[in-house]
A and B are shown apart, each in its own frame.
Chain A
Amino acid sequence: MRQQAGRRLDRGRRAGHPATVPDIATALAAAFGLITEGDRAVLSIVTLSLQVSFLAVALAALVGLPLGAFLAVARFPGRRPLIIAGNALMGLPPVVVGLLVYLLLSRSGPLGGWGLLFSPGAMVVAQVVLITPILATLSREVLEGLWEEYGEQLRSFGATPRLAVPTLLWDGRFSLLTVLLAGFGRASAEVGAVMIVGGNIEGHTRVMTTAIALETSKGDLPLALALGMVLMTIVLAVNAAAQLLRDLAQRRQG
Chain B
Amino acid sequence: MRMPETALPLVARGLGFSAGGTALLREIDLVLEAGPPTLIIGPNGAGKSLLLRLLHGLLQPGAGWVRWQGRAAPRAAMVFQRPVLLRRSVRANAAFPLPLAGIPAADRGLRVAEALALVGLTDLADRPARRLSGGEQQRLALARAAALRPEVLFLDEPCASLDPAATAAAEYIIQTISRQGCKIIMSTHDLGQARRLAGEVIFLHQGRVCEHAAAPQFFQAPSTPQAAAFLNGELLW
With known contacts A252-B128, A254-B130, A156–B101 Cβ distance under 8 A: no
A156 touches B77 (CB 8 A): yes
B interface residues, tally (CB under 8 Å): 18
Q: How far, in whole Å, are A156 and B56 apart by their CA atoms in the complex?
A: 8
Write the A130-171 contact mask toward B (1 if CB under 8 angstroms, else 0).
Answer: 000000000000000000011011011111000100010011
B101 touches A158 (CB 8 A): yes
Main SS class of interface, B:
mixed
Main SS class of interface, A:
helix
**Total number of A-B contacts with CB less than 8 angstroms?**
44
A interface residues, tally (CB under 8 Å): 17
B13 at the A interface (CB under 8 A)? no
Write the B21-54 contact mask toward A (1 if CB under 8 angstroms, else 0).
Answer: 0000000000000000000000000000000010
Partner of A156, one of B78, B88, B128, B131: B78
Complex interface: chain B residues within 8 A of A171 (CB):
86-88
B100 touches A153 (CB 8 A): no
Q: How far, in whole Å, are A156 and B97 apart by their CA atoms in the complex?
A: 9
- B49 CB, nearest partner CB in chain A, Å: 11
Complex interface: chain A residues within 8 A of B130 (CB):
253-254
Complex interface: chain A residues within 8 A of B101 (CB):
157-158
B96 at the A interface (CB under 8 A)? yes
A155 touches B58 (CB 8 A): yes
**A-B pairs, 6 with minimum CB distance:** A153-B84, A254-B131, A157-B97, A254-B130, A156-B78, A171-B87
19 more CB-based (< 8 A) A-B contacts, given A153-B78, A156-B78, A254-B129 = A149-B84, A150-B86, A152-B53, A152-B58, A152-B78, A153-B80, A155-B58, A157-B77, A157-B100, A157-B101, A158-B97, A158-B100, A158-B101, A167-B86, A171-B87, A174-B87, A253-B131, A254-B87, A254-B128
